[in-house]
Amino acid sequence: MRIGSAYMRGVLCLALFLGFICCLVPKSQAATPLQLKIGDISAAPGETMQMPVSLDSTGQVSGVQFDLIYDSDLLICQNIRVGGIDSDFSFMANEIELGKQRVIIYSLHDLTLTAGNQTIVFVNFQVKQNAIKGQNCELNLNEVCLSDADAKMIEGVIVADGQFTVENLEGPDVISPTIVNIDPIHGEDDVPVNKTIAITFSEPVQSGATMGFASLKTGNTLVDFTYSLVDNTLLLTPTNDLAYATNYEVQIPAYAVKDQYDNFLVDEYTYTFTTCSNTPGLTGDFNGDNCIDIEDISTLALAYGTTQDNEHMDLNGDGVVDLYDLVILARSLEY
């Protein structure tokens, strides 16, 4: 039987991707030991906290995968967002089961992460209200896999786990609010032109001294919008629909919001997103970039075996995302 070359290339790409996920790749020894680290954190019952995951490297890392294990009886994972890495890297986070989050960072363009110590992701937790002072749990990094630009697994990685401890607030609140989630996320493509931008803080906030200087713009052109504050969320609603296929920048200045104890947002926050194009979507184009490529394969692979909330990935309509859908999508790969 003769099988089309496009199909074989698709299957090969699928195999390479799943091979990375399983860390079934050739191995290389890091010249200098790399370190993936969490550290120790603490917070009071009901509080929201931001936990950084950092990587110390010498510039050879092109892909990172790890599972974060924590006690779901103490902590609720609200979201995981990308840290200070290059926006050309792809980022995925998925809850595998209660108390277990899987994070994948990779490049399709032979890029490597900047050398030195940097925060690669932020994990936002909320402490359960019924937590008791002194309770603690381990924060473990499991199934750690780092690869270089040649798709070889890097050996000799040092993993530094952390610990969470429940504490009580004593004395006045002097903790400044921080941004724990943004929608759309930084670098997101295919954002609807009628999108309301939502920025979520670690606690309820109110308008601060510089809220009037918050901006939404494309290039040097400012976009008119109205804003509202609902509990811990700032909503920016553009007056008119945004332009198609256009890059926008959101800027929230320092001191734009404050909590009830007059603790202000300390740092300015800037991020970008791109609106969708004015063309019909392709079946299987899960990231909206108007082509079927390996990123769509990776998105479908993360949904493998699911039966709910991913109906658009069930390409053959049999009620489950499975191998048949992967093969169908592989046949449509574009190069």
Q: Is residue 86 part of a domain?
A: yes
**Domain finish residue from 233, 253, 275:** 275
Give the lowest-confidence range in 87-96, 178-187, 235-244, 263-272: 87-96
Question: Is 304 part of any domain?
Answer: yes
Q: Are residues 35 and 140 in the same domain?
A: yes
**162 & 192 share domain:** no
Residues 189 and 295 in one domain: no
Gap between the Cα atoms of 127 and 46, Å rounded: 5
Residues 36 and 158 in one domain: yes
pTM of the model: 0.51
Per-residue pLDDT, 31: 55
Cα angle for residues 173, 175, 178 (degrees, 5° grid): 140
For residue 62, being part of any structural domain is answered with: yes
Do residues 197 and 155 share a domain?
A: no
Domain's final residue, options 249, 275, 301: 275
- Mean of pLDDT values over 181-196: 92
Radius of gyration for the chain, computed over Cα atoms and rounded to the nearest angstrom: 22
Report the mean per-residue pLDDT for the chain.
Answer: 83
**pLDDT higher than threshold 90 for residue 229:** yes
Phi, psi angles (nearest 5°) of residue 248: -125, 150
User: Does 272 have pLDDT greater than 90?
Assistant: yes
pLDDT of residue 107: 80
Whether residue 174 is contained in a domain is answered as: no
Confidence bin at 287 (pLDDT 50/70/90): confident
Q: Do 96 and 77 have their domain in common? A: yes
pLDDT digits (tens, 9 = 90+) for 127-152: 988 888 788 999 999 999 888 888 78
Residue 329 pLDDT greater than 60, yes or no: yes
119 found inside a domain: yes
* pLDDT tens profile 70-82: 999 999 999 998 8
Q: Domain limits at 144? A: 31-166
80 with 146, same domain: the answer is yes
Q: Element (H or E) spanning 12, and its range? A: helix 5-21
Which whole number is the average pLDDT over 107-133?
86
d(CA 105, CA 90): 6
Arithmetic mean of pLDDT, 154-158 = 89
Q: Is the pLDDT of residue 184 over 60?
A: yes
**Are both 125 and 185 inside the same structural domain?**
no
Q: Which residues pair with 123 in a beta bridge?
A: 51, 80
127 and 214 together in one domain:
no
- What whole-number distance in Å separates Cα of residue 265 and Cα of residue 226? 20
Q: Is the pLDDT of residue 38 over 80?
A: yes
Do residues 205 and 148 both lie within one domain?
no
CATH number, domain of 101, equals: 2.60.40.680
CB distance 147 to 107 below 8 Å: no
Same domain, 46 and 67: yes
Task: Let me know if residue 264 belongs to a domain.
Answer: yes
Give the total number of structural domains in the chain. Answer: 3
Q: What is the mean pLDDT of residues 175-185?
A: 91
What is the distance between the terminal CA atoms of the chain, rounded to a whole angstrom? 24
Q: Are residues 188 and 234 in the same domain?
A: yes
Per-residue model confidence (pLDDT) at position 170: 58
For residue 171, what pLDDT is reported?
57
Last residue of a domain, one of 166, 190, 218: 166
User: Where is pLDDT greater, at 196 or 281?
Assistant: 196
Residue 1 domain-assigned (yes or no): yes
Question: What integer is the mean pLDDT of 38-54?
Answer: 89
Side by side, which strands form the sheet with 48-57? 75-82, 116-127, 48-57, 35-37, 158-160
Q: What is the CATH number of the domain that holds 267?
A: 2.60.40.1220
**Assign residue 8 a region: left if phi > 0, alpha if psi is -120 to 50, beta otherwise?**
alpha
Residue 6 has pLDDT above 50, yes or no: no
How many angstroms separate the CA atoms of 159 and 143, rounded?
A: 10
Tokens of 306: 């699911």
